[in-house]
Amino acid sequence: DSGYSPVYINGQGKGLKEGTKHTEVECPLINVGETSNRVKALNAFKAILVDHLKTLITPYWKEKKIDRDLYKVIAKKSAEKVIKSFGNKNFPTERKINLYIKSSRSKLTKLIEEYVRKYSKN
């Protein structure tokens, strides 16, 4: 195995010639190892980020400013927003995740405060 895998172009299955069998797909190759490393980095980053965001949201829940459902919504939306902000850039490696979280603490706190303000009824 070369470590490469065929992929669909733009998710449309383009690249198939007429009369070409499914196993003879002509499309670009991506390095599976690089993709799996990116997925691992994303999952590690997401897990640590969500844990950190939950610690920032918990005081609002304990003070009854938000309920359980709103807690979940804010955690999900804020995590999605942070991850989306990376775009196609690489996510921090496992060694750099904690450094990123520490350096972004004030921004993450502001983000949580804005979501609480936006969604809370009080």
Please give the Cα distance from 79 to 118 (Å, whole number).
16
Give the DSSP H/E element, type plus range, for residue 73: helix 68-85
Q: What is the pLDDT of residue 43?
A: 84
The mean pLDDT of 43-54, rounded to a whole number, is 91
Q: What is the pLDDT of residue 76?
A: 95
| Cβ 108 vs Cβ 59: under 8 Å | no
Size of the chain in residues: 122
For 67, residues 6+ apart whose C-beta sits below 8 A from its C-beta are: 61
- Model confidence, pTM: 0.65
Residue range 62-109, pLDDT digits in tens: 999 999 999 999 999 999 999 888 776 777 776 788 888 889 999 999
Residue range 2-42, pLDDT digits in tens: 444 444 444 444 444 445 444 444 444 444 455 677 788 78
Tokens 């610690």 -> residue: 55
